[in-house]
Structure 1
Amino acid sequence: MPCFVPQNHVVASILAMFLVLAGAGGDARAELMRPFKDEFFAYPKLLASADGGRHLTVDYRIERDLRERDEVPERRVRGRFVDFAPLRAQTDLVLKTDVANVPHVVVGAPETARFIVVYLYGQGGNRNQGMNDHTFGGNFNRLKNLAQRNGGIYITPEFSDFGPRGSRQVASLLSYYSTSAPDAKIYLACGSMGGALCWQLAKDADVAPRLGGLLLLGSHWDESFLASTAFKRRVPVFFGHGSDDRVFPVATQERFFRSILKKAPNYPVRFVRFETGSHGTPIRMVDWRGTLNWMDGVR
């Protein structure tokens, strides 16, 4: 039985893009997430649309979207972009399971969670990266607020590697929180090398049925996804990628995106290309609310 051990305690283009990503039209259900600081985090100008609106190229400018947004570039965002209310519901824990002890940080109330968002960091990261309120333009702070204000939870776990061992550790964490919130869909957001875990968990017969979506942010591709449990269940996939990514070339990720559409033309997949953006740009720029609302609306 697992247990916890506490540790230290242009408006038109923006609207058009949001409607595309949120999958607007027809569904009368309430949105998964209500607006929060949308005026700061909606996408900039739309430059191009392809693949029937599934592939969008948006304008990214380092001067506007990083230097003018951050008080200290890449280290501290300006105060108007953040709200620290979620800190009151943020806890650093260790989950003890038969697989491993899994340190993680959680925001929100697990026992009443409507949905679960999990961020898996890339090479050199840790569980604190996705909980940092000040970096990446305050975008993680927005996600924390969106989760807590809409009855969800947001989790950032630690794991040993990007292979099967790390995958098992994350799966054990997801199993625990799924037991606490059996009706909550899980949305996995994977940055850079963290994508290796996203693709492995997409094949996990226990995890895949609980997935509400996969978000690959400046990450890589995995052709085996096309035979995975998640693919067969039509789990929505979002790709965010900078056009100047020197780690994982955008053209290769775009080819993989289109290979999904080739195999399944109606598959729920979206690609946002941040023109001139670098490797870390998608984490800074992804519109969490628009993307997760779109995934939740997919049938």
Structure 2
Amino acid sequence: MFTVKVPATSANLGPGFDTLGLALQLYLELKVTIIPQSTRIRFFVDGEEYPEEIFGDNLVYQAMKKVFAEAAVVEAPGLELTINSSIPPGKGLGSSAAAIVAGLYAANEILEKRFTQEDLISWAVEMEGHADNVVPAVAGGLTTAMLYRGNVYYQQFTFPPELKLVVAVPDIQISTDESRQLLPKKIDFMDMVNNLQRASYLLASLIKHDFRYLPAAMDDVIFQPRRKQLIPGFDRVFSQALGNGAVGVALSGSGSSIIAFCQQEEKRVAEAMQDAFAASGIQSQLMILAADPDGVKVLR
């Protein structure tokens, strides 16, 4: 028996669209028990067993099947799979990436680590579609990723430990596909230049622990202005977070969660963000987290 533990992720961080990502101390855990002399697979989610016709489409299961297929395994061993996840789905916190990474790493563990981390990342990006979520889930910390000629390349950095992360999760569910439909097919040249400057400055600022101009560096001018129309109270939440002590704020992934970076006053910032959503008639949950430095772990 072993457990695969995968962190939630926050992608984009403002201007770093499909590039920057951050692993969070919020987890999906997949417990795997191998059943000898059996080929049956039992599947549990938060303590409830699901029949095969339902869990067949589950991303954990699909990812495991991907690895077994790549290894030319004709018949997988009998398994008992138990998922417990604290990552809310459809909130821009990488729930899909976490499920895919968990399944890939679980199957690879069963196969005695036959495949490399590069193999698993490549398949995860193929399945999930976004390296900025997959890479921090695997590597942990703050990451920047790129796709080049069919390959995934990334760098990982230590996220400043003095920064706490306030995540406001509104009672609004947004699919990535729905959010991407709002994105422009063409981008103004100067908007592109502004975002490129800010993403570069943001990464350098976090590496150097210099937070003076994070509000400016995280001010995306291309993607968030379009996506915010799906989130009532968006502008108020941003302004209240910054006005109550946050050093930076961004939409988390495709939303609807909003993440704020805080050196101090994280409880005050959290309450201000929740009050701002409430003023627009939206209930929200709050989480005060730290960055996860390690990424996916296999625990025995």
Q: TM-score, normalised by structure 2?
A: 0.31
Larger Rg: 2
Q: TM-score, normalised by structure 1?
A: 0.31
